[in-house]
Chain A
Amino acid sequence: MESEATKILDEVTQGDYKYGFVTEIETEFAPTGLSEDTVRYISAKKNEPEFLLQFRLKAYRHWLTMSQPEWAHLKIDPINFQDIIFYAAPKKKKELSSLDEVDPELLATFNKLGISLDEQKKLTGVASVAVDAVIDSVSVKTTFSETLSKHGIIFCSFSEAVQNHPDLVKQYMGSVVPYTDNYFAALNSAVFSDGSFCYIPKGVRCPMELSTYFRINAANTGQFERTLIVAEEGAYVSYMEGCTAPQRDENQLHAAIVEIVAMKDAEVKYSTVQNWYPGDKNGIGGIYNFVTKRGICKGSHSKISWTQVETGSAITWKYPSCILLGDNSVGEFYSVAVTNNHQQADTGTKMMHLGKNTRSTIISKGISAGKSNNSYRGLVRISKNAANSRNYSQCDSLLLGAKCGAHTYPYIQVDNRSSIVEHEATTSKISEDQLFYCQQRGISAESAIGLIVNGYAKEVLKQLPMEFAVEAQKLLSISLEGSVG
């Protein structure tokens, strides 16, 4: 009985990656490998101020003293940092001032990915979304910057922010994720190339969704981007991040940092749809996705909300976290992580309650298929001073088939008596009954699994902005899709 269901699941869960194409563009590379010279090369390429070069060098020297963490439930082949190219940029002819000057190949690439870099081309009924498009190591285009600047909002590539707003960068960069934080954070701090920068001034509600779209294109390169979001008192912004990469036989490294600062009464909503190339059915190739994401609720009544839909990457190592420093601040983490074939994910969150009356919610939905491994790892820490704080965590795992694994590692530490922590966990399977029921209504096994999985993840998906939710739903079905009959 089980074997029939398993067979159907096996067939259904062997889908293909739809974004695996490569764009032929002229690209400029740093020499392969990592040394102080590489760090200096990148800094010089970007014409950076001295403080930034010094920051990078300190990070690099610190990184040399560290070793790759081994505590995650992941099997990682050794990474040879001397085989990686740390900087790759599409060659541009001159400074871009309008869309016409973006390489048509690049425009075509983003069109193919369904990302519009054309401010004129609004989809009917869909609010416009400002996009920062990052390919390999550099941002190629940021849309709606001018519209946003009328509200005092700064939305630009990290490199531009370094040139135009060095004080803000200097003030906040590394303030949430110091370069000493962990191995990959140190690496990123040394060699990061680009990313997005976003500053919402006091009292401003950002009038549109902001988004960054990351694309790895060049071979043998790593992508090390850095995103910094600062929301001043009473500000609000909803930010989305998407990513894809071509299909290749080697593993490629992606080690990013995202830092969020929310002042008093500010709210930042950060949504990710992560769809890096996951490797093939036999586990060859795919992106190593080692990401440090952290936000600090600095002021009272501030709120940071992480929503992630993780379907891609060969290995995902990622724990978007909240430091709840301000009294009455709120942290949220909503996650759907899908692993299929040989993918491995170790993901979760950290909620650090420091202020009084702080609240956090964690909803994690893991979906494992094929021979994959999917782990939730979460830390809830309520410090002595965080009186009357609360956390609610719910971690569910859904298993598709018998060869995959699901694991839950909740760590809870409560240092005062007035706080309450609740944790619930479930593990379930798609039953043969459910499949039969759907198929009896004329629904193919493939669509049935898509429906059931989307239903299972609904609590998280409904947190996503409209523009993203539809895409995420499709993606969930596609990542588990294959050929049935």
Chain B
Amino acid sequence: MLLQIKNLHASINGKEILKGVDLDVREGEVHAIMGPNGTGKSTLASVIAGREVFEVTAGEILYKGKDLHKLSIEDRAREGIFLGFQYPVEIPGVSITNFMRTAVNEIRKFKGLDPLPGGDFLRLMEEKKRLVEITSNLTNRSVNEGFSGGEKKKNEIFQMAMLEPVLAILDETDSGLDIDALRIVANGVNKLRRPDNAFVVITHYQRLLDYIIPDFVHVLFEGRIVKSGGKELALELEEKGYDWIKKEQE
């Protein structure tokens, strides 16, 4: 089991957002998480990544069988957890190249490897840029600064490709993408799929799941996963909305 979440409760400023989440993700699987706005999808992603503003009040997250609780944000990342942000932040003056080189080399250091020589690093960048079909001048620009919504999302997938995570959580990476970009992003994910890694895809649209075929679809509602099923659940949600789930909960 790659990721095992048991009865996870988390709150922010004393307000409970996650109210007992259970989720199992095995290597090789793709999970989709859907659910109405404000039900805690991004919160779940942040808590898995270790964001400190959220307080875990009960339950546990096991990753590769180890309790994540004590692991810092960066160590989780170095162990292979990647979060594609719903709202990627701008870092003015820091080029994507410099940013990625710092990330790649800190992860390598953690693994006891020497820094990647400059030439090798640039070759790696070129290769991954082709994978997500992004142009050169985007990587020379500062991280997310002045990027369009779609460019920001593509940049997230590019970074994922660079870091080759074991567990990738993509938070609404499809939002704001045009049809071509959506296909490119989905292809990127599909090319990176391996038997030993897994994806958790948070989305509002069944459309994405035409490209990335999920093994499981979950509905997160008011801080709990209230329904799980196969990819047909996504179609059902698309058709019927969330009302019937709300009713079921009452």
In the assembled complex, the Cα of A444 lies from the Cα of B110 at a distance in Å of 11
**Most B-side CB within 10 Å, residue of A437, A442, A454:** A442
- Interface of A, secondary structure class, is helix
Judged by a CB distance under 8 angstroms, whether A209 is at the interface is no
B106 and A455 within 8 A (CB): no
In the complex, chain B residues 78-120 whose Cβ is within 8 Å of any chain A Cβ = 78, 82-83, 85, 88-89, 91-94, 98-100, 102-103, 106-107, 110
In the assembled complex, the Cα of A1 lies from the Cα of B14 at a distance in Å of 11
Please, which residues of chain A bring their CB within 8 A of the CB of B53? 1, 4, 432
Judged by a CB distance under 8 angstroms, whether A440 is at the interface is yes
Q: Take A1-B13, A443-B102, A451-B99 as given contacts and tell me if A458 and B93 are in contact as well, using a CB distance cutoff of 8 Å.
A: yes
In the assembled complex, the Cα of A457 lies from the Cα of B52 at a distance in Å of 28
Q: Which of B69-77, B194-202, B227-235 contacts A (4 or more CB under 8 A)?
A: B69-77
**Smallest Cβ distance from B174 to chain A, in angstroms?**
20
In the assembled complex, the Cα of A275 lies from the Cα of B72 at a distance in Å of 33
B49 and A440 within 8 A (CB): yes
Judged by a CB distance under 8 angstroms, whether A456 is at the interface is yes
Judged by a CB distance under 8 angstroms, whether A452 is at the interface is yes
B89 and A457 within 8 A (CB): no
A461 nearest in chain B by CB position:
B93
In the complex, chain A residues 425-469 whose Cβ is within 8 Å of any chain B Cβ = 431-434, 436-445, 447, 451-452, 454-459
**Most A-side CB within 10 Å, residue of B13, B88, B106, B163:** B106
**Partner of B74 from A4, A442, A459 at Cβ < 8 Å:** A442
B: contact size bracket: 20 to 34
Q: Take A437-B85, A441-B77, A442-B78 as given contacts and tell me if A456 and B93 are in contact as well, using a CB distance cutoff of 8 Å.
A: yes
Q: Take A1-B53, A434-B89, A436-B73 as given contacts and tell me if A442 and B106 are in contact as well, using a CB distance cutoff of 8 Å.
A: yes
Judged by a CB distance under 8 angstroms, whether A485 is at the interface is yes
Please, which residues of chain B bring their CB within 8 A of the CB of A455? 91-94, 142
| Bitwise interface map of B from 140 to 152 toward A, beta carbon under 8 Å scored 1, else 0 | 0010000000000
B93 and A459 within 8 A (CB): yes
B93 and A443 within 8 A (CB): no
**Smallest Cβ distance from A398 to chain B, in angstroms?**
10
A457 and B93 within 8 A (CB): yes
**Smallest Cβ distance from A476 to chain B, in angstroms?**
12
21 pairs, CB–CB < 8 Å, chain A vs chain B:
A1-B12, A1-B13, A1-B53, A4-B53, A434-B89, A436-B51, A439-B74, A440-B82, A441-B99, A441-B159, A441-B163, A442-B103, A442-B110, A443-B99, A443-B102, A447-B102, A451-B102, A452-B91, A454-B93, A455-B92, A455-B142
Given contacts A439-B73, A441-B77, A441-B163, 13 further A-B pairs with CB under 8 A are: A1-B12, A1-B53, A4-B52, A431-B89, A434-B91, A440-B77, A441-B99, A451-B91, A455-B93, A455-B94, A456-B93, A458-B93, A485-B72
Residues of chain A whose beta carbon lies under 8 Å from any beta carbon of chain B: 1, 4, 431-434, 436-445, 447, 451-452, 454-459, 485
